[in-house]
Amino acid sequence: MTTGSVLAFDLLAAILAAAGWLGAGATAVAGPRRVAMAVGAAALAATLARAATTILLARAGWWFAAEKVVIAGPLMLAAVLVAGPRLLRPAPVPFLFAGYALTAGLLVTVLHGYPVSAGAGLLAVAGVAGATALTWRFLGSGPVPRTAVVVAVAALVAGIGAAATAGAVPGVPHAHQHRDVLTVGEPAKRFTLTAGTAVVPAGDRDVAAWAFNGQVPGPQLTATVGDVLEVTLRNRDIGRGVTLHWHGYDVPNSQDGVPGVTQDVVLPGREFVYRFRADRAGTYWYHTHAASDVGVRMGLYGVLVIHPKPATGVDVTVPVHTLAGVPLPAPAVQPVAAGDPVRLRLINTDNTTHRYALAGTPFRVVAIDGSDLRGPAPLSETAVLIPAGGRYDLAFTAPDTPVALDVDGRVVWSSGPVSAATGGWPVLDPLTYGTAEPPPWSRYDREFTLVLDRGVDLRGLLPRYAHTVNGAADPDIPSQVVRFGEIVELRIVNRSLVVHPWHLHGHHVLVLSRDGRPATGGPLWLDSFDVRPGEVWEVAFRADNPGMWANHCHNLPHADAGMTLHLIYG
């Protein structure tokens, strides 16, 4: 069983146990004795199941189990000790006590999570003691025991105190405006992108969109290694403002396009000129980073391809996007001559993973996220999963029969009709693909762990159920500070129930391991990778691009709901 499924089972057991004890208490008040006994027994079984999932999660990593062991565990133990002996003689107060204890343990996991805090533990105890005292008052025999009241009041006071003092987390250091004039040489390639509202065709209808130069995706920007690119961004009428972020292209910080961090947002009627040297061949994309969730979804994105010196063969870009519920691009049929080298550049500009399958020919995955792979072997009848923001380049020599590429079962590009059922194909694991090479570093100067979760964020104007990193949400997640030249190890742990496609700006990370198993394929340099529920990724990078960089989940609604932090050079 994967850690992700244990996380799901744990939640289920916690809900059943809490509901079970509360139900047993209610039936002990009003229902038949046998029913109360049966419900109590089921609640006990669910409680033991949660104890088991807690142990399994602790073995998978402390990040997954900390609050379950430290806070929910003692509460579960107390519940079993108090309610267990009453299973044959059902009584409301012990069963309801167990119900409160299990509910408190469940809430600590769902609302608070990692890391454990004294405040959360004390508030849980206060809640259980207070609810038990009240229950006793109405259902118990004799006066409310002093201890319950004293524990409730003391824990409540201490808990509020602890929670309030824990609020002193450093916020994002004040945005730094890099205004350095870039001396990159005479631009060889000039483009102008004008952002504006537009009505564009999608599938067989017209939809309202936000577009660059009136089209979705925006114009494809193409350059050759060595070119200097100059891109003028204008905003016609996007009220929330726009910027350009070169996703996967490690530009100097001042050109990175993150509003409030590397530049001011470009408001209607304004412009901003980006300039950088194209020194790295590969497949990239650009998108607005202002109100990025809605901006990208509405269509403010496009493709950036940097070709190596002599570009050869058939070169096709397939930027996948969902616009107003319509999957893009529209299917294209492009005949290719047998023997022609073909390169398909697959780009996922959506918020969630897509599955791509190429039928009718063996192929190689020659690059991921703009980095060539080492020794990629031919694959056939194998699908690839591309995370949000990620790119895979597939290469093959055109056979004399047609080939077809589908995305989630929908053909998007083909050279003729192909009938193939690709749905059952195995999926490539890039961590075992290609030929290995010893890692370039043997020691790390710095190490960071990011534990991804959900939790209640009370720091803003309104409380929200945020996507959190180490228990905090943007802008309260402490920045990671590195020094130029350091080798930095980053561990990313997903203890939530959803996938988080991780994306660090300005750097490519080398994948070291996933779930403790080292990557055994060719060196994998990524800028976007899916950390699935229960997974632990270890990656590393060289701090060689000074500035202040966004580091966030590329499921952009998550980034917006708290899952964004910053890497800064100190």
CB 492 within 8 A of CB 480: no
Q: Which of 50, 245, 508, 558 binds ligand C2O (CB under 6 A)?
A: 245
Q: Is 289 in the site for ligand C2O (CB under 6 A)?
A: yes
Stretch that binds ligand C2O, among 38-46, 63-71, 465-473, 548-556 (CB under 6 A): 548-556
Q: What angle do CA 194, 391, 243 make, to 5 degrees?
A: 25
Question: Least distance to ligand C2O from the beta carbon of 193, Å?
Answer: 16
Q: Closer to ligand C2O at the Cβ: 245 or 514?
A: 245
The interface partner of residue 500, options being Cu ion, ligand C2O, none and the CB cut-off 5 to 8 Å by kind, is Cu ion
Question: Least distance to ligand C2O from the beta carbon of 9, Å?
Answer: 33
Q: What angle do CA 331, 324, 455 make, to 5 degrees?
A: 120
The interface partner of residue 257, options being Cu ion, ligand C2O, none and the CB cut-off 5 to 8 Å by kind, is none
Question: Least distance to ligand C2O from the beta carbon of 132, Å?
Answer: 48
Q: Is 552 in the site for ligand C2O (CB under 6 A)?
A: yes
Tokens encoding 199: 């009505």
Q: Which of 50, 68, 275, 287 binds ligand C2O (CB under 6 A)?
A: 287
Query: Cis omega before residue 217 (within 30°)?
Result: yes
Q: Closer to ligand C2O at the Cβ: 247 or 343?
A: 247
Question: Least distance to Cu ion from the beta carbon of 558, Å?
Answer: 3
Q: Pattern 371-390, binding to ligand C2O, x per CB under 6 A? A: ------------------x-
Q: Closer to ligand C2O at the Cβ: 99 or 562?
A: 562
Question: Least distance to ligand C2O from the beta carbon of 367, Å?
Answer: 18
Q: Closer to ligand C2O at the Cβ: 522 or 562?
A: 562
The interface partner of residue 389, options being ligand C2O, Cu ion, none and the CB cut-off 5 to 8 Å by kind, is ligand C2O
- Number of residues located near Cu ion, criterion CB under 5 A: 4
**Rg of the chain on CA atoms, in Å:** 27
DSSP letters of 66-131? HHIIIIIHHHHHHHHHHHGGGSSS--HHHHHHHHHHHHHHHHIIIII-SSP-HHHHHHHHHHHHHH
The interface partner of residue 247, options being Cu ion, ligand C2O, none and the CB cut-off 5 to 8 Å by kind, is ligand C2O
* Beta bridge partner(s), residue 480: 567
The interface partner of residue 553, options being Cu ion, ligand C2O, none and the CB cut-off 5 to 8 Å by kind, is Cu ion
CB 241 within 8 A of CB 260: no
**Span 475-504, contacts to ligand C2O by CB under 6 A:** 503
Q: Is 505 in the site for ligand C2O (CB under 6 A)?
A: yes
Residue type, 342: V
Q: Is 454 in the site for Cu ion (CB under 5 A)?
A: no
Q: Which of 500, 503, 508, 542 binds Cu ion (CB under 5 A)?
A: 500
Distances (CA, A) of 532 to 57, 309, 499, 517: 15, 38, 4, 15
Q: Which of 247, 275, 354, 542 binds ligand C2O (CB under 6 A)?
A: 247
CB 318 within 8 A of CB 410: no
| Alpha-carbon torsion, ordered 396, 401, 405, 406, to 10 deg | -150
DSSP, collapsed to helix, strand or coil, labels residue 333 as strand
Stretch that binds ligand C2O, among 166-174, 228-236, 321-329, 549-557 (CB under 6 A): 549-557
Q: What angle do CA 524, 528, 530 make, to 5 degrees?
A: 95
Q: Is 508 in the site for ligand C2O (CB under 6 A)?
A: no
Q: Closer to Cu ion at the Cβ: 545 or 555?
A: 555
Q: Is 259 in the site for ligand C2O (CB under 6 A)?
A: no
Q: What angle do CA 478, 461, 454 make, to 5 degrees?
A: 55
Question: Least distance to ligand C2O from the beta carbon of 252, Å?
Answer: 16
DSSP letters of 498-514? S-EEEEETT--EEEEEE
Residue type, 518: P
- Minimal CB distance to ligand C2O: which residue? 247
Q: Closer to Cu ion at the Cβ: 382 or 480?
A: 480
Q: Is 550 in the site for ligand C2O (CB under 6 A)?
A: yes
Q: Is 50 in the site for ligand C2O (CB under 6 A)?
A: no
**Number of C-beta neighbours around residue 142 at 10 A:** 6
Stretch that binds ligand C2O, among 3-11, 135-143, 471-479, 547-555 (CB under 6 A): 547-555
DSSP, collapsed to helix, strand or coil, labels residue 404 as strand
Q: Closer to ligand C2O at the Cβ: 453 or 527?
A: 527
Smallest Cα–Cα separation from 412: which of 529, 316, 527? 316
The interface partner of residue 496, options being ligand C2O, Cu ion, none and the CB cut-off 5 to 8 Å by kind, is none
Burial 249-273, CB ≥16 within 10 A → b, else e: bbbbbbbbbbbbbbbebbeeeeebe
Smallest Cα–Cα separation from 49: which of 82, 12, 81? 12
**Span 399-438, contacts to ligand C2O by CB under 6 A:** none
Q: Is 554 in the site for ligand C2O (CB under 6 A)?
A: yes
Q: E strand or H helix at 305, and its extent?
A: strand 301-307
DSSP, collapsed to helix, strand or coil, labels residue 294 as helix
- As a whole number of angstroms, the distance between CA 457 and CA 461 comes to 10
Question: Least distance to ligand C2O from the beta carbon of 322, Å?
Answer: 16
Q: Using CB under 6 A as the criterion, which residues of the chain lie in contact with ligand C2O when the complex forms?
A: 245, 247, 287, 289, 389, 503, 505, 550, 552, 554
Q: Using CB under 5 A as the criterion, which residues of the chain lie in contact with Cu ion when the complex forms?
A: 500, 553, 555, 558
